[in-house]
Amino acid sequence: ETPEFLAEFQKRIDREEKIEPNDPMPSGYRKTLVRQIGQHAHSEIVGMLPEGNWITRAPTLRRKIALLAKVQDEGGHGLYLYSAAETLGVSRKQMTEELLSGKAKYSSIFNYPTPTWADMGAIGWLVDGAAIMNQIPLCRCSYGPYARAMVRVCKEESFHQRQGYEIMISLAHGSPEQKEMAQDALNRWWWPSIMMFGPHDSDSTNSDQSMAWKIKRFSNDELRQKFIDATIPQAEYLGLTVPDPDLKWNPEKNDGKGGYDFGAIDWDEFWTVVKGGGKMNVDRITARQKAWDDGEWVRDAALAHAKKQTAKKAS
Ligand code: ACO
């Protein structure tokens, strides 16, 4: 790749032109997108597991319908994203094998357990809330297929956030036991949600290049701050307490618009979870491995059918 080619490509990015699958692109740009979109797809698919756990035990039919729809949406997002990654020359089989072998990452957040119904509320409110904050700017990502996929994904994510927050409202405004359940879920999900945005900018190895290529539009710390500022009033409305004694309104922050200062993030916990040592990492990959193995006959049958059709056409 010559410096002229790289400079020309950067000019296209700077003119806000969308890059499409058959356009020439630097190998690093392709590699970054395959990594990020693949990781994103895996997160959606693994993300079905913590909530799938509660579908059979949802407290009412209405709650069950909404949760079922949400988990199905996540499956759809995963397939949509695998397709976007496939436009870059990688196969879904390859990506799945990388997930199962531990080579490809998926979001840290899905390695936490969901022991109570209130977790369905906290996940929708906080995890999907964080996902929206991160994904709205991805609608303007320089790679066309990823940006376009994100438009629909974000619409559905906002339904997910609302269904979660509505569960939190019911619990927080319910009996003392229900309010306690809601508080307990907030206590367990707050910090992992804050960590979802990734390491501090100073430790984010990919950010500078991804920002220059306009794959990322905001840094990890910028999005984390936006999320905290948007979410604290929602916690106040619920009458719940965010588990951070250092949380404090700072009128000077955000160029004088104000924002929250917050406590130190436990990065040891984050990296332990990312490297496979979270409470649910083994369960999650075991479940995905089982689904992949159980589906083998379907893939084989589809392949055999396709071969038969091709042979029929040729004869
Ligand atoms: N969980 C697991 N790994 C993470 C996380 C996280 N929450 N955050 C960062 N990392 C990893 C990165 O993948 C990277 O590792 P790699 O180089 O081996 O891939 C490393 O930590 C350093 O981080 P960054 O350099 O900051 O990585 P990047 O620029 O890719 O930014 C981010 C991370 C913000 C998650 C970005 O990839 C992104 O926006 N992805 C798309 C959104 C997404 O995947 N969301 C998933 C959860 S939302 C949902 O599914 C409901």
Give the C-alpha distances (Å, rounded to integers) separating 215 from 22, 205, 262: 17, 14, 27
**CB contact set of 8 (below 8 Å; sequence gap of 6+):** none
**Structure token digits, residue 156:** 């559905």
Question: Is the pLDDT confidence value at 226 over 90?
Answer: yes
For a pLDDT cut of 90, what percent of the chain falls above it? 99
Ligand 1 atom with least separation from CA of 37: 41
Exposed, middle or buried, 243 (CB in 10 Å: 0-12/13-18/19+)? middle
Q: Quick one: pLDDT at residue 19? A: 98
Give the whole-angstrom CA distance, residue 147 versus residue 136.
9
CA of 256 to the centre of ligand 1 (A): 29
- pLDDT tens readout for residues 72-112: 999 999 999 999 999 999 999 999 999 999 999 999 999 99
- pLDDT tens readout for residues 3-55: 999 999 999 999 999 999 999 999 999 999 999 999 999 999 999 999 999 99
Q: Quick one: pLDDT at residue 315? A: 86
Rounded to two decimals, the ipTM of the complex is 0.97
Ligand 1 pocket, mutate which of 35, 103, 107 (most atoms under 8 A from CB): 107
CA of 204 to the centre of ligand 1 (A): 9
For a pLDDT cut of 70, what percent of the chain falls above it? 100
CA of 96 to the centre of ligand 1 (A): 17
Ligand 1 pocket, mutate which of 33, 35, 40, 208 (most atoms under 8 A from CB): 40
CA of 36 to the centre of ligand 1 (A): 7
Degrees, nearest 5: CA angle 85-86-89: 110
Q: What is the chain's mean pLDDT, rounded?
A: 97
